[in-house]
Amino acid sequence: AHAIAGPEPVGSAREPRVDAALIGYLPSPAHLARLARLPQAELPREQLRTLLFPDGRPRLLETLSTPLGRSGFVCVPLFADELAPGDALLGHTARGVDLAASFGARSVSLAGMIPSLTGYGFDVVRAVGTGEGAPAVTTGHAATVVSVVKTVHAALEATGQELGALTVAFVGLGSIGSSSLELLLGRAPAPPARLLLCDVPGSGPRLKEFAERLRERGLADAVDVLESDGGLPDAVYGARLIVAAVSGGGALLDVDRLEPGTTVVDDSFPHCFDTGRAVSRMDRARDVLVVGGGLLNAGTVERQVAEGLPAAAVAGYLAQPSIPDTIASCRLESLLHASGTTDLPLVRGTVDTATGRAYWAAAEATGTRAAPLHLLTRTVDGDMARQVPDRAVPPGRPDHLDRPGLPEQRFGSET
């Protein structure tokens, strides 16, 4: 079978060669339409699928040349709103890994929701095997944890704040959220003034155990546990720093309820708030900083569209705005492995403390740093970021948004 539609079959002299690859999927048609500023009806789902995947198989869409090597993006013939656990996603992902291997990839990482829907990488490894010639499979979550922490550091530096002086809320304490928090606290000179842990209904007992472990290790002092139920508890909106990593997207966080002076770092995909309202508030009021957390900068990069793509797809890809010299953190993880510059553990399952530290050290050793502060493809003005803390309204002033004490969802203060 031909893995890439077009005149050149796999194995030809013009076959692309890569060191690593990311297996991913397409944004939902609605998301694509918003990016293209088109009515959704002009991007019909099945027409797009047939255009890009005429044989119904994964396909190379682009390559990225970086100081660490060359990475390919292999896309499965699914949209984000179609992802579900089961044989369909696993089969497409395994075929994507095989295609990446045919291009020479020595390491492959998994994008977005694929890890959590495939047993955090274990199902993919079982499907493709570990024999000779099989690329190493890693989830991408450890590099993502590094990107979240580096982005938090960049946001604190840009706003002139210190973690130890702030009430900090972490929303979503799954694999990425909990590991990001541990790495952030482990590298902080002092714990936050107060820490709020918030996750889905029923997560309270798990979060209480997590909070106790943080206290026992000296990483946190005052910790409160909250549950979200359709929306975020009031106490979260009283935090000066909110870090979110939730699945499923949606408007969980209400941008209009953020207190002036608040900083938000969100690694959810799609974002867990209305990005249009966030951009509008930063442009208009300039009193909050709301940024994404999943990009890194590892030096100069050059993107190239794969050969054989339909002209319309190439034109659409080239028209997309992007932030120069940035790379998705999950994609960087497989490049770090393939480069051989560092001895890193493959990531399957959750990211433990030692693995998070190892990837932090690898990022430091390779000069990898946070991407410019940004939301979607818009970078944040440095002057605006510096002014955000000054916009905070002290309690007692008539225009202060009083937050009631921790709500009924609370499972008791861990202080």
What pLDDT digit, counting tens, does each position of 39-85 carry? Answer: 777 778 898 899 899 999 999 999 999 999 999 999 999 999 999 99
Name the residue among 283, 319, 294 with its Cα closest to residue 151.
Answer: 294
Tell me the pLDDT band of 121, cut-offs 50, 70 and 90. very high
% of the chain beyond a pLDDT of 90: 76
Task: Kindly tell me the burial class for residue 286, based on how many C-beta atoms sit within 10 Å of its own C-beta (0-12, 13-18, 19 or more).
Answer: middle
CA 410 vs. chain centroid, Å, equals: 28
DSSP three-state, residue 355? helix
Q: What is the pLDDT of residues 342-371, one digit of tens each?
A: 789 999 999 999 999 999 999 999 999 999
Poorest-pLDDT segment among 286-300, 365-379, 383-397: 383-397
Q: Stretch 388-414: mean pLDDT, rounded?
A: 52
What pLDDT was estimated at residue 164? 97
Instruction: Give yes or no for a contact between 197 and 223, defined as CB atoms under 8 angstroms apart.
Output: yes
CA 401 vs. chain centroid, Å, equals: 30
d(CA 66, CA 51): 29
What pLDDT was estimated at residue 19? 98
Task: Kindly tell me the burial class for residue 257, based on how many C-beta atoms sit within 10 Å of its own C-beta (0-12, 13-18, 19 or more).
Answer: middle
Q: What is the pLDDT of residues 274-308, one digit of tens each?
A: 999 999 999 999 999 999 999 999 999 999 999 99
Tell me the pLDDT band of 14, cut-offs 50, 70 and 90. low
User: Hey, where are the domains in the chain?
Assistant: 20-141+299-366, 145-294+373-387
- How many other C-beta atoms lie within 10 A of the C-beta of residue 38? 12
**What DSSP string runs through 204-239?**
HHHHHHHHHHHHHTTS-SSEEEEE-SSS--HHHHT-
H runs (alpha helix) in 103-248: 114-117, 122-128, 141-159, 175-186, 204-216, 234-237
Instruction: Give yes or no for a contact between 141 and 115, defined as CB atoms under 8 angstroms apart.
Output: yes
- pLDDT tops 50 at residue 408: no
Mean pLDDT computed over every residue of the chain: 89
Tell me the pLDDT band of 35, cut-offs 50, 70 and 90. low
Q: Is the pTM of this model over 0.85?
A: yes
Rounded to 5 degrees, φ, ψ at 114 are -60, -45
List all residues 6 or more positions away from 398 whose beta carbon is below 8 Å from its beta carbon.
Answer: none
For residue 226, the number of C-alpha atoms closer than 13 Å in the C-beta half-sphere is 25
Q: What is the pLDDT of residues 183-231, one digit of tens each?
A: 999 999 999 999 999 999 999 999 999 999 999 999 999 999 999 987 8
Looking at the structure, give the CATH architecture of the domain made up of residues 145-294+373-387: 3-Layer(aba) Sandwich (3.40)
State which of 35-39, 318-322, 381-385 shows the largest mean pLDDT: 381-385
Token reading at 320: 């997309």
What pLDDT was estimated at residue 156? 98
- pLDDT tops 50 at residue 257: yes
- pLDDT tops 90 at residue 311: no
Name the residue among 339, 334, 369, 298 with its Cα closest to residue 139.
Answer: 334
d(CA 283, CA 290): 11
What pLDDT was estimated at residue 322? 86
> Diameter of the chain by CA atoms?
72
What pLDDT was estimated at residue 286? 95
Name the residue among 148, 139, 191, 140 with its Cα closest to residue 172.
Answer: 148
What pLDDT was estimated at residue 159? 97
Q: Stretch 329-339: mean pLDDT, rounded?
A: 96
Instruction: Give yes or no for a contact between 336 and 359, defined as CB atoms under 8 angstroms apart.
Output: yes
Strand ranges across the sheet with 289-292: 223-227, 194-199, 167-171, 241-244, 263-266, 289-292
Q: Stretch 375-404: mean pLDDT, rounded?
A: 77
- pLDDT tops 60 at residue 317: yes
DSSP three-state, residue 380? coil
Q: Stretch 315-324: mean pLDDT, rounded?
A: 78
